[in-house]
Amino acid sequence: MKVLVATEKPFSAKAVEGIRHRIEEAGHTFALLEKYKSADELRAAAADADALIVRSDIVDEAIFAAAPKLKIVVRAGAGYDNIDLKAATAAGAIVENTPGQNANAVAELVIGMAIMAARNKYCGTTGFEISGKRLGLQAFGQVSRHVAAIAKGFGMDITAIDPFCPAEAIEAQGVKVATSLEELYAGNDIVSIHIPATPQTVGSIGRDLISRLPKGAVLINTARKEVINEAELAEVLEARPDIKYFADVKPGNADELSDRFGDRIFFTPKKSGAQTAEANLNAGLAAADQIVAFFRDGTDRFRVN
Ligand code: 3PG
């Protein structure tokens, strides 16, 4: 079977070599496409592939049409909103992700961003300490759990909300449970977003929630830019000069926000939450192992379609 690793944003060299080793050791053929510039390049490279490993790369209907042999696509990471699941199913391909493999890397970035915001982007003015502050986690998946564990070490007071996670499971981690999103936003000095982009969540965080943040609060988004109503975010940043927005997912209106609120916002130039040597290796090897297992005996534990 031919396994193509197609990553516009490359994994570390060590992760690529690890994936190659696992694929070839299992008797498959390994191929690599990195830093490609167009969907055409991806379509051409995938034409004879049986399996595909991607990151945030767009895998749409056109890819499945151009790659008729594709049997499995593994998103080496958590969010799979970049993959057209309907098209995959229609093409007879299964889609998997590698949940949790890059969670600590993203969580460390959340804490880094919290401190960077608290210290006014290290500009020398008086900031605040995150110790003793209230941290709100919107959703309580793998990244959130790591954030909570690290934040406890900083002495933060942590609250979460997650409609898909029982309250007892949240409380078992020493984290309080908010009864509504409104309460989460109103009651925390730092709110960190950890929801996926789905038809239900896209544009769901806007004026109503953001304007409830308490004085001097920071909103951190390492999830997906699509979950924010960007026009309403700009409105609230205008009306509330005390609020900050720090994100690992650059908004569509980044230039406008930078011009108007430069000292209170921050965006990474390229999504970098999962961009650590450790996360690349964990997610890359997990993806390779999942493909090997699938071709060996049909194992599809992490299937999402
Ligand atoms: C994820 O969903 O796993 C993260 O957003 C990381 O995405 P990336 O692999 O494109 O950096």
- Using the mean position of ligand 1's atoms as its centre, give its distance from the Cα of residue 132 in Å: 30
- Using the mean position of ligand 1's atoms as its centre, give its distance from the Cα of residue 203 in Å: 20
Q: How far apart are CA 265 and CA 218, in angstroms?
A: 9
Amino acid at 176: K
Q: How far apart are CA 198 and CA 83, in angstroms?
A: 12
Q: CB 158: neighbour CB atoms within 10 A?
A: 24
- Using the mean position of ligand 1's atoms as its centre, give its distance from the Cα of residue 235 in Å: 28
Q: CB 33: neighbour CB atoms within 10 A?
A: 20
Q: How far apart are CA 288 and CA 281, in angstroms?
A: 10
Determine if ligand 1 sits within 6 Å of the CB of residue 99: no
Determine if ligand 1 sits within 6 Å of the CB of residue 271: yes
Largest Cα–Cα separation, the chain = 60
Ordered per-residue pLDDT tens for the chain, 305 residues: 999 999 999 999 999 999 999 999 999 999 999 999 999 999 999 999 999 999 999 999 999 999 999 999 999 999 999 999 999 999 999 999 999 999 999 999 999 999 999 999 999 999 999 999 999 999 999 999 999 999 999 999 999 999 999 999 999 999 999 999 999 999 999 999 999 999 999 999 999 999 999 999 999 999 999 999 999 999 999 999 999 999 999 999 999 999 999 999 999 999 999 999 999 999 999 999 999 999 999 999 999 99
**Burial grade of 174 (CB within 10 A; 0-12, 13-18, 19 or more):** exposed
- The upper half-sphere exposure of residue 138, i.e. CA atoms within 13 Å in the direction of its Cβ, equals 30
pTM: 0.97
Identify the residue whose tokens are 């049909």: 298
E strand or H helix that includes residue 296: helix 277-297
